[in-house]
Amino acid sequence: MSARITGRTRLAGIIGWPVEQSLSPIMHNAAYRAVEFDCVYLPLPVADETDLIRVVGAIRVLPFVGFNVTMPYKQVMLDLCDEVAMLAQMAGAVNTVHCVDGRLIGYNTDGRGLVDALRAELGFEPGGATVALVGSGGAAGAALVSLVLGTAAQVTIVNRTLENAEALAERIRPHARETTIEVVALDEGAEEVVRSADLVVNATPLGMHPGDDPPVPAGWMRSSQIVADMIYRPEPTPLVAAARSAGATAVDGLGMLVAQGATAMEIWCGESCGVASRHVMRRAAEEAISVRAGGECA
C-alpha cells in the first residue's frame, strides 16, 4: 500500500467469498509501492448477492479506481456493470472492473492471463494447437475466448454437464473463425480427447480443497503434453502432481494470477504500471506462499 495514506489515496480491492486467502492484496500493494501508485488494495469479503449489490453501490461513490471479482460473483457482475467489454461479454464473466466517474466498466483479464503465463513460463503459443478445456463456467469462458483469439485449431470443452458445455460453445462459435469448438462429457469417453490434446487446461475449482482428486486422471495424460491448472494452491495442485507423474509439463495458476493482476493495473493506471509491476507481483506472491507453507500465516 502507499507509504503514506492521505485524502488523495485511491482504493482498489477484490470482492468474493471467501477472500481471506487471496494473494491479490499482497501482490497489488507491493506493486503499487514499486510504481508509486497512490492506492490501497483491500480484501472485500461479500457473503451473498444481496450484499454484493450494496457493496457495488457504495463503491460507485467512494474513491475506487477499480476492483477485481472472484468466486462466486464473476458471472453475476456482468449485470451490475454499466458497460462490459466485448471479451468479457463473450466469456460470460467479469473479473476486473474499472471505476470511472461513478460508472463501472467490466473486463475479463483471466484468459489473457492464462495465455500470457503459458507464453512466459513455457514458450507455448495456442496457434494451431488442440486443447482439452475442463469446465464450463466463467473461468472456462475466459480461457476459451483467449484460445480462440490465439487461433487454437480445436478446443474441446470437457464437462460433467453437457448442457452447460454446449451453451458455452454456442456462445463462442460465431466468433471462432479459425477454431473448431466441440464438447464432450467428463467420463471415459473424454480420455482420448484429453490424451491427444497438445494442451489440457483445468478451469474448474477442483483441486483447491483437501482430498480433492485431479479433474482428470493421471492415466489420461502423457509426456510431451502441456497441462495448465488455473488454480494455484495447494502446491502442487492435484492436477499438476498427476500431470507430472505422467511425464507432462505442468504449471499451476500462479503465473496466470500475476498476469491477470498486472493487466488489471494496466486498465486502472496505464500500461506502463502493469508492465513494470509483473516481477514485483510474482515475487510478493511467492514470498507469501512460502510463509504460509511454513505455517507462519493461517
Longest Cα separation, the chain:
59
Domain of 234, CATH number, reads: 3.40.50.720
Q: Write down the catalytic residue from 10, 74, 98, 278.
A: 74
- Residue predicted with more confidence, 170 or 210: 170
pLDDT of residue 270: 87
CA distance 147 to 125: 9
Does one domain contain both 248 and 119? yes
In a domain, 206, yes or no: yes
Residues 267, 242 share a domain: no
Residue 100 sits at the vertex; the CA angle it makes with 7 and 61, to the nearest 5 degrees, is 55
Interior angle at CA 228, CA 259 and CA 199, nearest 5:
120
Return all residues near 110 (Cβ < 8 A) that are at least 6 apart.
91, 93, 95, 138, 139, 142, 143, 230, 256, 260
Q: What is the mean pLDDT of residues 36-46?
A: 96
- Does the annotation count 244 as an active-site position? no
For residue 72, cis peptide bond before it (omega within 30 degrees of 0): yes
pLDDT of residue 274: 74
**Residue keyed to cell 481471506:** 20
Q: What is the 3-state secondary structure (H, E, C) of 239-292?
A: HHHHHHHCCCEEECCHHHHHHHHHHHHHHHHCHHHHHHHHHHHHHHHHHHHHHH
Per-residue pLDDT of 108-141, as tens digits, reads: 999 999 999 999 999 999 999 999 999 999 999 9
Q: Residues 242-248: what's their mean pLDDT? A: 97
Clarify whether residues 283 and 201 are in a common domain. Answer: no
Same domain flag for 242 and 120: yes
Identify whether the C-beta of residue 245 lies closer than 8 Å to the C-beta of residue 266: no
CA distance 196 to 47: 41
**Which pLDDT band, with edges at 50, 70 and 90, does 294 fall under?**
low
Q: Is residue 196 part of a domain?
A: yes
User: Which residue, 197, 226, 202, is CA-closest to 216?
Assistant: 202
Q: Give the whole-angstrom CA distance, residue 55 versus residue 294.
A: 34
Other CB atoms within 10 Å distance of the CB of residue 247 = 13
Percent of the chain whose pLDDT exceeds 70: 97
DSSP 235: S
Do 149 and 277 lie in one domain? The reply is: no
Instruction: Determine, yes or no, domain membership for 38.
Output: yes
pLDDT digit string, tens, across residues 62-104: 999 999 999 999 999 999 999 999 999 999 999 999 999 999 9
CA dihedral 87, 230, 254, 118 (to 10 degrees): -70
Pick the more confident residue, 233 or 19: 19
End-to-end CA distance of the chain: 21
Q: How far apart (Å, rounded) are the C-alpha atoms in residues 127 and 140? A: 18
Going by the DSSP 8-state scheme, the letter that residue 220 receives in this structure is G
Whether residue 2 has pLDDT greater than 50: no
User: Same domain, yes or no, for 94 and 171?
Assistant: no
Tell me how many domains the chain contains.
2
Residue 2 counted as domain residue:
no
Taking the alpha carbons of 25, 26, 31, 33 in that order, is the dihedral positive or negative? Answer: positive
pLDDT at 235: 86
pLDDT at 293: 67
Q: Are residues 82 and 31 in the same domain?
A: yes
In this prediction, residue 290 carries a pLDDT of 87
Domain of residue 232 covers 111-252
Whether residue 296 is predicted with pLDDT greater than 80 in this model: the reply is: no
Q: What is the pTM of this model?
A: 0.92
Backbone angles phi, psi at 79, to 5 degrees: -80, -10
How high is the mean pLDDT of the chain?
A: 94
- Which residues are 64's β-sheet partners? 11
Residues 91, 219 within the same domain: no
Residues 153 and 235 in one domain: yes
SS3 205: coil
4 in a domain, yes or no? no
Q: Write down the pLDDT at residue 162.
A: 96
Percent of the chain with pLDDT strictly greater than 90: 89
266 in the same domain as 217: no
- How much is the pLDDT for 297? 29
252 — pLDDT class (breaks 50, 70, 90): very high
